[in-house]
């Protein structure tokens, strides 16, 4: 682990104390007390061209009112410090607490903040050596790959006697069918029109707009951890926050309305766009995720066999309750958007 003092010499500040926050080899973070207040130094795993994209996006978002900590420039005027090809970023620290998914008022605040974030990102175009990060227009290929994987997992499961595989085989066909239904929407005109709109107007997704990356202050929620910013439809962030909020306790109709209404109040969606959002919610992303971990063994499992099985059971319960909510999607959209005629 590199001594952060070497990096901090590049900044026009006096260092009083440095405390390690986290270290993961390729990434790290330190709290830095200075004569100009507390800062956070981050070692990123990104190439410089990628980091330039992220920093340009942060500057654009801040200029448009998004509450994101300010980046600190080096003595040479750069917002990236480099040593031996490694990139570091220094920003103001933000003190506060994370919001709670269990609080209705916090959920409204989270969804309103997300809407403001998407609105503030509109029009961002990177420049210079910054490397574009985009997932725009990629959903069909992603859906197809995941559905093919689920079919291949069935073949593996049939050769296994594990409780996980038995449960997977009982549930897989239903989830594959839901995924195929979502795929048909993504192959249709609603998705194509939204992709073209975002390609023309530009829109950033955070990709991890979760309670852990939001800090409540006296001035409202601040947004941190910009490492995954990408061009894509706002629906990506919406789908991810809904899955995070609902996965443990199951999907709830009124909570869904509350969340969408808060988002819609600052960043309205059209009927076409709601149709695409429903499709992405319908696709079994979390179900695929746990099954992929189990059958691809792409990394060591985070849980033992028993806990992995419990994760799958919880996932299936969540997906089942989600279907009941999505069956009333027209009413949800009508209530969230205040339409007189329901979603079609």
Residues in the chain: 344
Long-range own/partner contacts, residues 151-158 (CB < 8 A, 24 or more apart): 151/176, 152/295, 153/291, 153/292, 153/294, 153/295, 156/295, 157/295
Q: Tell me the pLDDT tens digit for each residue of 220-229.
A: 999 999 999 9
Q: Tell me the pLDDT tens digit for each residue of 182-235.
A: 999 999 999 999 999 999 999 999 999 999 999 999 889 999 999 999 999 999
Q: Tell me the pLDDT tens digit for each residue of 277-287.
A: 999 999 999 99
Q: How confident is the model at residue 162 (pLDDT cuts 50, 70, 90)?
A: very high
User: pTM score, two decimals?
Assistant: 0.93
Q: Tell me the pLDDT tens digit for each residue of 285-303.
A: 999 999 999 998 855 555 6
- For residues 107-121, give the mean pLDDT: 97
Residue found by looking up tokens 């031996």 in the block? 84
Q: Please, what are the domains in the chain?
A: 16-92 (3.30.200.20), 104-337 (3.90.1200.10)
Is the distance from CB of 41 to CB of 4 less than 8 angstroms? yes
Is the distance from CB of 118 to CB of 194 less than 8 angstroms? no
DSSP state of 177: H
Q: How confident is the model at residue 1 (pLDDT cuts 50, 70, 90)?
A: low
Mean pLDDT of the chain: 93
Could you tell me how far CA 230 lies from the centroid of its own chain?
10
Q: 42-72 burial, b for 16+ CB within 10 Å, e for fewer?
A: bbbebebebbbbbbbbbebbeeeebbbbebb
Which phi and psi (to 5°) does residue 102 adopt? Answer: -80, -10
Which pLDDT belongs to residue 84? 85
Is the distance from CB of 309 to CB of 167 less than 8 angstroms? yes
* Pairing state between β 204-205 and 230-231: antiparallel
Which of helix, strand or coil describes residue 261? helix
């Amino acid at each position: 682990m590199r001594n952060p003092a070497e990096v901090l010499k590049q900044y026009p500040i006096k260092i009083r104390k440095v405390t390690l926050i986290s270290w993961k080899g390729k990434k790290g973070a330190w709290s830095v007390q200075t004569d100009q207040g507390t800062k956070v130094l981050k070692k990123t795993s990104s190439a410089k061209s990628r980091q330039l994209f992220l920093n340009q996006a942060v500057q654009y978002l801040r200029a448009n009112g998004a509450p994101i900590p300010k980046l600190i420039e080096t003595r040479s005027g750069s917002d990236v410090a480099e040593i031996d090809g490694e990139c570091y970023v220094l920003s103001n620290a933000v003190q506060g607490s994370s919001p709670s998914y269990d609080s209705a008022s916090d959920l409204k605040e989270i969804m309103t903040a997300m809407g403001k974030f998407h609105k503030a990102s509109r029009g961002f175009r990177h420049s210079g050596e910054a490397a574009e990060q985009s997932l725009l227009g990629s959903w069909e290929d992603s859906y197809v790959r995941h559905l093919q994987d689920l079919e291949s997992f069935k073949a593996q499961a049939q050769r296994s006697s594990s409780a996980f595989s038995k449960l997977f085989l009982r549930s897989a066909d239903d989830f594959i069918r839901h995924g195929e239904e979502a795929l048909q929407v993504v192959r249709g005109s609603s998705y194509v029109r939204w992709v073209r709109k975002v390609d023309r107007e530009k829109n950033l997704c955070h990709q991890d707009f979760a309670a852990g990356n939001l800090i409540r202050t006296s001035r409202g929620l601040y947004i941190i951890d910009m490492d995954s910013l990408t061009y894509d439809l706002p629906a990506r962030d919406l789908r991810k926050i809904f899955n995070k909020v609902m996965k443990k306790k199951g999907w709830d109709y009124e909570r869904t309305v509350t969340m969408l209404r808060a988002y819609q109040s600052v960043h309205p969606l059209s009927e076409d766009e709601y149709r695409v959002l429903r499709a992405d919610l319908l696709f079994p992303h979390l179900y695929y995720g746990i099954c992929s971990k189990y059958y691809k063994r792409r990394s060591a499992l985070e849980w033992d066999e028993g806990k992995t099985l419990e994760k799958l059971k919880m996932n299936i319960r969540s997906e089942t309750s989600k279907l009941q909510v999505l069956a009333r999607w027209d009413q949800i959209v009508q209530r969230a958007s205040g339409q007189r005629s329901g979603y079609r």
